[in-house]
Structure 1
């Protein structure tokens, strides 16, 4: 995320502007392509044109923003103007097969360009940020780069300390294996658990350099064999690829064809592997630097979020040492995992709405 001189003209691909029954409010829905170094990024702008501007940072690295229009848009767009950004190489943004451009530094630079473009086009003085999962760290990294353009930030199940995140999940799984091995088990089941324990110990002692395969095993393969889900407290709420493809209204809302949507996962894999096989990303820890943050922050996390570690939100909240108590909020959502927009959308929506409403007055 580097610095790139702004004076790049955004290329407006689609814009529909409609007036609601309330004549004082103008609702807009626009798609932008914003040039960044060696690429261009897709941004969907929806909501109240007169409202405070919120930039949504999806998770990953390698996620996409389209689903957030469905999950978080209904609670925000009536009052705020929300910009759903697809990060470099993700979603509807241009493909990126050049891994040297898939770096934390480049992503910070990209976001700076996007924010400048949006502030200029919509005549706003500052933006608000929502960052989910990786987007939570992304938002903090941007704030450490430049806080002057940001009014407030909501970090949803984000992380700031990769070592805490990685070891928290490994420790949980090792403790779970120890308890399971106390029971009477078949020889095959005992061997399976011991093999997983050996792999977790190997990962635990590694330097997390080539981490793409290992982290996927930790978050997906091992939990399924140990009887829990790292992402969801309620697995019945998981939204699958086929669920999305079969939902014609959702596909239309996101403005995806089936062919386009099937490319999202392929692009995500390229981006995620590039980041996850970068030692500096896997070992990133900005916890101590959070004392530099001076803009209001809401820290939100599901109580059953094993992906970032169940106490990561409290770690972040306590690290925001220069914020007064009325400038920061901590929300732990009950019976919720790593995806509160799916598992607990009403409570998340209320928290976000109230936080940004209060900060926009």
Structure 2
């Protein structure tokens, strides 16, 4: 792994967390910068391998730590028989936060959640608010059922406007989507929808260029492809939990500052649902950033605007605290 920019902090490691060796990737430019723990999406889609695409500017103002969760990426490769549950993952996350606090001599850690990572993150900050400086959510999941319904209606509207008979037929085949599906069946049906959404730029497109982006990563290993191919099988229990998630079933009271960064063209986790929920949040401080032209991979789609939002959060936190 080459450190082309000669960063002060730039290394991979396996740390023994909650009974197994788990993978962390650290990158930053100053030891006194706040530490941000990146909670990736999926479930099971480790974004550490893609971090080189979007985060170099972030490293000026944060030390970023990527964790390949239990059942994902290099942690899964190391522990192929250790299937995750939500309780195990929350305990994993708690122990990693303790490890990072000691390693970097910090009182608290920033949590950054993307997609599935926002489910894990929003549960964690309710359970352990004293461990977290503040929470940044990108593609915040509010209700999986409503997300899918709204995303379906949006792409159907565009397909009708375009008289796209092929896409309309594919949508019709999904029936009364999302219906009563949960777990792996729910995920399989959602993947069919994603293919149609991607055609209209409403969801992440898993095309050739995306795969090449993964392979070009300085921390890529062939085993990362295998981990991606097996992620649904190992994450069955987590996918069941994910498919039924609705953040509105819990109180909207939070004890940590909350920041949402939403892509205005994100219909995979529709921004309009997160925007509506955000209005109801009661927190010590909250702020929402809406990024025009950005979709679900908000930080990749509009990297400069995304960095501006992160830089503003740093300024706000310095003022507030």
- TM-superposed CA distance for 1:274, in Å, is 4.8
Question: Which of 208, 212, 215 is the matching residue for 2:182?
Answer: 208
Gap change, CA 1:336 and 1:195, over 3 Å in 2 = closer
* Paired residue secondary structure (2:246): coil
In structure 1, the residue matched to 2:86 is 104
- 4+ aligned runs moved over 6 Å, structure 1: 235-238
Q: Assess, with a 3 A threshold, how the Cα gap between structure 1 residues 31 and 195 changes in structure 2: closer, same or farther.
A: closer
Q: CA deviation at 1:178?
A: 5.1
Q: CA separation in 2, counterparts of 1:134 and 1:298?
A: 16
Q: Identify the match of residue 115 of structure 1 among 87, 93, 97.
A: 97
Residue 296 (str. 1) matches residue 268 (str. 2): no
Question: Which sections of structure 2, spanning at least 5 residues, go unmatched?
Answer: none
Shift of 1:357: 4.2
Give yes or no for contact 1:35–1:41 (8 Å, CA) kept in 2: yes
Contact 1:61 1:271 in 2 (8 A): no
Of the three residues 198, 211, 215, the one matched with 1:241 is: 211
1:315 corresponding residue in structure 2: 276
Q: CA deviation at 1:91?
A: 1.7
Q: Give the match's secondary structure for 1:29.
A: strand
* Residue pair 2:156, 2:168 contacting (<8 A) in 1 also: no
State the Cα RMSD in Å: 3.0
Structure 1 segments unaligned to the other structure (5+ residues): 1-13, 21-26
Contact 1:129 1:139 (C-alpha < 8 Å) held by counterparts: yes
What pairs with 1:120-135 in structure 2 (closer than 5 Å)? Answer: 120-135=102-117
Contact 1:174–1:197 (CA under 8 A) maintained in structure 2:
no
Contact 1:177–1:197, Cα closer than 8 Å, also in 2: no
Q: What is the CA distance between 1:198 and its match in structure 2?
A: 4.3
Please point out which of 293, 296, 300 is paired with 1:342. Answer: 300
Distance 1:80 1:357, change over 3 A: farther
Give how far 1:38 is off: 4.4
- 1:175–1:78 Cα change, 3 Å: closer
Query: Which residue does 2:314 correspond to in 1?
Result: 356
Q: Aligned pair in 2 of structure 1 residues 290, 68: CA closer, same or farther (>3 Å)?
A: farther
CA distance in 1, matches of 2:49, 2:6: 24
Spell out the pairing of 1:1-361 with structure 2 (5 A cutoff).
27-47=8-28, 48-95=30-77, 96-98=79-81, 101-176=83-158, 179=161, 189=165, 193-194=168-169, 196-201=171-176, 203-209=177-183, 210-220=185-195, 222-223=196-197, 227-231=199-203, 239-245=209-215, 247=216, 251-252=217-218, 255-257=219-221, 259-271=222-234, 274-276=237-239, 278=240, 280-320=241-281, 322-323=282-283, 327-360=285-318
Q: Distance in 1 between matches of 2:208 and 2:113?
A: 20
Tell me the distance in 1 between the aligned counterparts of 2:141 and 2:245: 10
Q: Larger deviation: 291-300 or 169-178?
A: 169-178
Q: Equivalent residue of 2:74, what SS?
A: coil
Whether the aligned pair in 2 keeps the contact of 1:150 and 1:295 (CA below 8 Å) is yes
Cα distance 1:271–1:318, how it changes in 2: closer, same or farther (>3 A)?
A: farther
Contact 2:36/2:112, CA 8 A, preserved across alignment: yes
Distance 1:243 1:146, change over 3 A: closer
Larger Rg: 1
2:309 & 2:147 partners in 1: Cα distance?
Answer: 24
CA 1:240–1:174 in 2, change beyond 3 Å: closer, same or farther? closer
Secondary structure at the counterpart of residue 355 of structure 1: helix
TM-score of the pair, normalised by structure 2: 0.85
Number of positions where the alignment pairs a residue of Structure 1 with one of Structure 2: 314
SS of alignment partner, residue 218 of structure 1:
helix
Evaluate the alpha carbon distance shift between residue 354 and residue 196 of structure 1 in structure 2; reply closer, same or farther with a 3 A threshold.
closer
